[in-house]
Amino acid sequence: MKDNAAEIPRITVRGERFRLYLDEDTIQHRIQELGEAISRDYPDEPPILIGVLNGAFMFLADLMRAITVDCEVDFLKLSSYGAAKVSSGKVYELKKIDANIENRHVIVVEDIVDTGLSMQYILDRLQAYNPRSVRVATFLHKYEATRVPLPLDYVGFRIPNLFVIGYGLDYGQLGRNLRSIYIMDEPLSDGQESGSK
Ligand code: IMP
Ligand code: MG
């Protein structure tokens, strides 16, 4: 990325300005590293990757192709925080996993850990199925916003507490198809949603 602020690519989505934050090459390079780490960590038993819909689909697709050992995939979907002005932190499952994960090595794959409340809920739910192990792979971690202790085993990028879009992440459902991550210059003002799943 160029140093000169004027040359940083900017886009507008739903009337909000975003600037380029992580470009495609940077993202893909980091995902290769995560794939190599996961491949080293699971030499014997194929792990099952559980993607959290909707946001994680793009990261999951690239991460899975960067993994060189056998692995399986399944999905779950959580409710959105909806139109609430402030994140309620109250989530529930819209789609449960189909796979039987009893005695399996599970890797939960998320687009972003923000407050961490969604991930905490997912980890609690998965324990009920008696998996052999559970690890977390998250593409982004807004570490200053995270309110609960979480084991984050594979983290793509630690980012500041600012709203981001692209690479699966949306602003009002738009922006998911962007190949790069774009960041809002200012925190979202009160009254705007902090994001949807
Ligand atoms: P948490 O429960 O606060 O950790 O929020 C997790 C979910 O909120 C993520 O899976 C995203 O769907 C959404 N989210 C949080 N921050 C952002 C963001 O900056 N952009 C887009 N979606 C976000
Ligand atoms: Mg999500």
Residue 145 φ then ψ, to 5°: -95, -15
Cα torsion for 163, 165, 167, 173, to the nearest 10°? 120
Separation between Cα atoms, residue 32 and residue 181, nearest integer Å: 17
By mean pLDDT, which of 42-46, 156-160, 189-193 is the weakest?
Answer: 189-193
pLDDT in tens, 55-72: 999 999 999 999 999 999
Residue 84 has pLDDT above 50, yes or no: no
What is the model's pLDDT at position 188? 61
What is the model's pLDDT at position 176? 98
The verdict on the CB of residue 101 being under 6 Å from ligand 1 is no
Residue 196 has pLDDT above 60, yes or no: no
The band of 5, judged by pLDDT with boundaries at 50, 70 and 90, is low
The verdict on the CB of residue 163 being under 6 Å from ligand 1 is yes
* Pocket test residue of 111, 142, 147 for ligand 1, highest count of atoms within 8 A of CB: 111
What is the model's pLDDT at position 121? 95
The band of 177, judged by pLDDT with boundaries at 50, 70 and 90, is very high
Tell me the mean pLDDT in the region 35-63: 97
Higher pLDDT, 82 or 99: 99
Instruction: Round the average pLDDT of the chain to a whole number and report it.
Output: 91
Which stretches does DSSP call E strand in 55-192?
Answer: 72-78, 93-95, 105-113, 133-141, 154-158, 164-165, 181-184
Distance 80 CA to ligand 1 centre (A): 9
Which ligand has the shortest distance to the CA of 119? Answer: 1
What is the model's pLDDT at position 85? 39
What is the model's pLDDT at position 12? 96
Q: Tell which residue, 91, 62, 61, has the closest CA to residue 194.
A: 91
Residue 158 has pLDDT above 60, yes or no: yes
What is the model's pLDDT at position 112? 98
Closest Cα to atom 19 of ligand 1: 163
Mapping DSSP to helix (H, G, I), strand (E, B) and coil, where does residue 38 land? helix
* Pocket test residue of 112, 171, 183 for ligand 1, highest count of atoms within 8 A of CB: 112
Tell me the mean pLDDT in the region 121-125: 96
Residue 6 has pLDDT above 80, yes or no: no
Closest Cα to atom 7 of ligand 1: 197
Tell me the mean pLDDT in the region 163-185: 96
Show contacts of 116-122: CB within 8 Å, 24+ apart. Answer: 116/145, 116/146, 116/147, 116/148, 116/150, 117/87, 117/89, 117/91, 117/147, 117/148, 118/52, 118/78, 118/91, 118/197, 119/150, 120/148, 120/150, 121/78, 121/91, 122/52, 122/76, 122/78
Residues labelled catalytic: 114
What is the model's pLDDT at position 89? 64
